[in-house]
Amino acid sequence: MDCRVLSCGTFNFTRNLGGNSGQDTIIGRKYSHFRAGSFCMTIRSGMKSYRLSELSQSEADGLKARPRINFSSIFNLVQPIVDDVRSRGDAAVKDYTIQYDKVEVQNVVENVSELADPELQADVREAFDLAYDNIYAFHAAQKAAERTVENMQGVRCKRVARSIASVGLYVPGGTAILPSTALMLAIPAQIAGCKTVVLATPPTRDGSICKEVLYCAKKSGVTHILKAGGAQAISAMAWGTKSCPKVEKIYGPGNQYVTAAKMILQNSEAMVSIDMPAGPSEVLVIADENASPVHIAADLLSQAEHGPDSQVVLVSVGDNVNLAAIQEELNRQCQSLPRGEFASKALDHSFTVIAHDMIEAISFSNMYAPEHLIVNVKDAEKWENYIENAGSVFLGPWTPESIGDYASGTNHVLPTYGYARMYSGVSLDSFLKYITVQSLTEEGLKNIGPCVATMADVEGLEAHKRAVTLRLKDIQAKELLTA
């Protein structure tokens, strides 16, 4: 068995190179990996670097793999919580809040209309107000005009939008408060016209609601706030309790236990839908020699600071990108970050790939399907149409990912873990359901009826056929009477 130690940041990796598959063990956490080889090098004991032209297809595929999550073991931990909340309701939620958050709450759910407006500093309030306006404007513009299509004479079809009546919004509060997520989830629900909007977020240490989250919730039309986090909060919204309304769809990011609860409950008797599966935050930055190393490092760290399992990838276009300067900036900036330890651990399992040109760079990005894609190259806008898989894209040197996280107007609740290949981020449509409507005149049935009768006959569905032919006979009889 060939084992090599790659020094990366502040931790050492021992990588098993003895076969086509295996695991890296990093400070007790296991991650998927690929077959390493002579193409692997390190940049000043920093992010590992790989040249795409030297990778086999299987090795390139390995680079897109995310950390393995052992959901079977997590499901075993979460299922009892789901069942307990279903059985004991508010009492179970209170008990788990004491157990996990070390807080005892008097009221599990607060009616937002009965809560006083929180006091915020003027600059903080103004920042949230500006973000609200931009997010509202972008999502309101997503309303589709209702159109009726007459496919043939007398056959009219249309699609109408209806809001989901009751929705649950999960706003994490573990290692950081996230009032911006409250805006991202509640504003499209407000525009859609959802009648019941439950926002779940862990309580503060004194059992109250984070004042910034409360401000955003009140401004965005939230009706109830559930003072709980984790699987117990998801369960309470899915089943409903004495104080928490049952919701029909649950949205929002969260840790692996929150994700597991969402996955369990969408396949349960709770009859609840979810927005998308979720994994750790991630960013992929495509940079050429024109990009500032300072800016690249800042963008990579803006995702790395979310947590030690964040995914950070740099794609260098050509050999003229100063990777050493970028690594120096990563080290320098990371040292001064309040969440630098999280960022450092995330960088430990991050990497750089060197692409021959932009076509190869974007091809790799499309394969990776990142949550956030930053394209920091000359004339970045001309590459937009080549991008197929990404949650949200940030074009050009003056578009940091942080802008989309907070206030540009786009939504920051996005698919991770490669799900950008088949999922979209949260939008106005996430809070709507669409109903198709068709209306026929007698002439319309005469025009389309024979076609339907023939197709029903082919499929052997006689009742389907008769539903048409009996009406056609009535029309024929009426026409004979009036002839």
Q: Would residue 22 count as lying in a domain?
A: no
List CB contacts of 331: < 8 A, sequence separation 6 or more.
Answer: 46
- Number of neighbours of residue 72 by Cβ within 10 angstroms: 8
Better-scored residue on pLDDT, 216 or 27: 216
Cα–Cα distance, 168 to 236 (Å, whole number): 10
pLDDT in tens, 390-408: 999 999 999 999 999 999 9
Question: Per the annotation, does 255 bind a ligand?
Answer: yes
pLDDT of amino acid 71: 84
Question: Per the annotation, does 405 bind a ligand?
Answer: yes
Q: Tell me the mean pLDDT in the region 87-102.
A: 97
pLDDT of amino acid 29: 29
pLDDT in tens, 176-209: 789 999 999 999 999 999 999 999 999 999 999 9
Q: Would residue 25 count as lying in a domain?
A: no
Q: 275, 299, 319: which is the final residue of a domain?
A: 275
Q: Which of 98, 133, 184 is nearest to 199 (CA)?
A: 184
Same domain, yes or no, for 142 and 245? yes
Q: Would residue 42 count as lying in a domain?
A: yes
Same domain, yes or no, for 328 and 457? no
Q: Tell me the mean pLDDT in the region 102-125.
A: 97
Q: Is 372 a catalytic residue?
A: yes
Q: Is 33 a catalytic residue?
A: no
Same domain, yes or no, for 117 and 239? yes
State which residues form the domain around 240: 71-147+159-275
Q: Which is the catalytic residue, given 212, 305, 371, 401?
A: 371
Same domain, yes or no, for 342 and 354? yes
pLDDT of amino acid 39: 36
Same domain, yes or no, for 208 and 117? yes
Question: Per the annotation, does 386 bind a ligand?
Answer: no
Q: 249, 275, 301: which is the final residue of a domain?
A: 275
pLDDT of amino acid 157: 99
Same domain, yes or no, for 327 and 452? no
Question: Per the annotation, does 372 bind a ligand?
Answer: yes
Q: Tell me the mean pLDDT in the region 354-371.
A: 97
Q: Would residue 374 count as lying in a domain?
A: yes
Same domain, yes or no, for 115 and 139? yes
Q: Tell me the mean pLDDT in the region 138-164.
A: 97
Average pLDDT, the chain: 90
Question: Per the annotation, does 464 bind a ligand?
Answer: yes
Q: Tell me the mean pLDDT in the region 444-465.
A: 99
Q: What percent of the chain has pLDDT over 90?
A: 81
Look at residue 327 and tell me whether its pLDDT is greater than 50. yes
| Number of separate domains in the chain | 3
Look at residue 33 and tell me whether its pLDDT is greater than 80. no
pLDDT of amino acid 46: 67
Cα–Cα distance, 356 to 359 (Å, whole number): 8
Instruction: With cut-offs at 50, 70 and 90, classify the pLDDT of residue 340.
Output: confident
Look at residue 2 and tell me whether its pLDDT is greater than 90. no
SS3 string, the chain, reads CCEEEEEECCEEEEEECCCCCCEEEECCEEEECCCCCCCCEECCCCCEEEEHHHCCHHHHHHHCCCCCCCHHHHHHHHHHHHHHHHHHCHHHHHHHHHHHHCCCCCCCEEEHHHCCCCCCCHHHHHHHHHHHHHHHHHHHCCCCCCCEEEEECCEEEEEEEEECCEEEEECCCCCCCCHHHHHHHHHHHHHHCCCEEEEEECCCCCCCCCHHHHHHHHHCCCCEEEECCHHHHHHHHHHCCCCCCCCCEEECCCCHHHHHHHHHHHCCCCCCEECCCCCCCEEEEEECCCCCHHHHHHHHHHHHCCCCCCEEEEEEECCCCCHHHHHHHHHHHHHCCCCHHHHHHHHHCCEEEEECCHHHHHHHHHHHCCCEEEEECCCHHHHHHHCCCCCEEEECCCCCHHHHHHCCCCCCCCCCCCHHHCCCCCCHHHHEEEEEEEEECHHHHHHHHHHHHHHHHHCCCHHHHHHHHHHHHHHHHHHHHHC
Same domain, yes or no, for 112 and 221? yes
Q: Would residue 2 count as lying in a domain?
A: no
Torsion angle defined by CA atoms of residues 173, 175, 179 and 181, in that order, rounded to the nearest 10 degrees: -80
Q: Would residue 373 count as lying in a domain?
A: yes
Tell me the two tokens of residue 149.
């299509």
Tell me the two tokens of residue 191.
């525009």
For the chain, the C-alpha Rg in angstroms (whole number) is 27
pLDDT of amino acid 443: 98
Q: Would residue 309 count as lying in a domain?
A: yes
Same domain, yes or no, for 271 and 313? no
pLDDT of amino acid 302: 94
Instruction: With cut-offs at 50, 70 and 90, classify the pLDDT of residue 66.
Output: confident
Same domain, yes or no, for 225 and 257? yes
Cα–Cα distance, 175 to 166 (Å, whole number): 28
Q: Please report, for the domain that includes residue 305, its CATH number.
A: 3.40.50.1980
Instruction: With cut-offs at 50, 70 and 90, classify the pLDDT of residue 37.
Output: very low
Q: 241, 275, 309: which is the final residue of a domain?
A: 275
Cα–Cα distance, 64 to 412 (Å, whole number): 22
Look at residue 10 and tell me whether its pLDDT is greater than 70. no
Question: Per the annotation, does 306 bind a ligand?
Answer: yes
Q: Tell me the mean pLDDT in the region 222-247.
A: 99
Q: Would residue 426 count as lying in a domain?
A: no
Q: Which is the catalytic residue, given 224, 372, 401, 412?
A: 372
Same domain, yes or no, for 84 and 195? yes
Better-scored residue on pLDDT, 341 or 131: 131
Strand partners, 393: 373
Cα–Cα distance, 132 to 129 (Å, whole number): 5
Instruction: With cut-offs at 50, 70 and 90, classify the pLDDT of residue 12.
Output: very low
Same domain, yes or no, for 139 and 261? yes
Look at residue 122 and tell me whether its pLDDT is greater than 60. yes
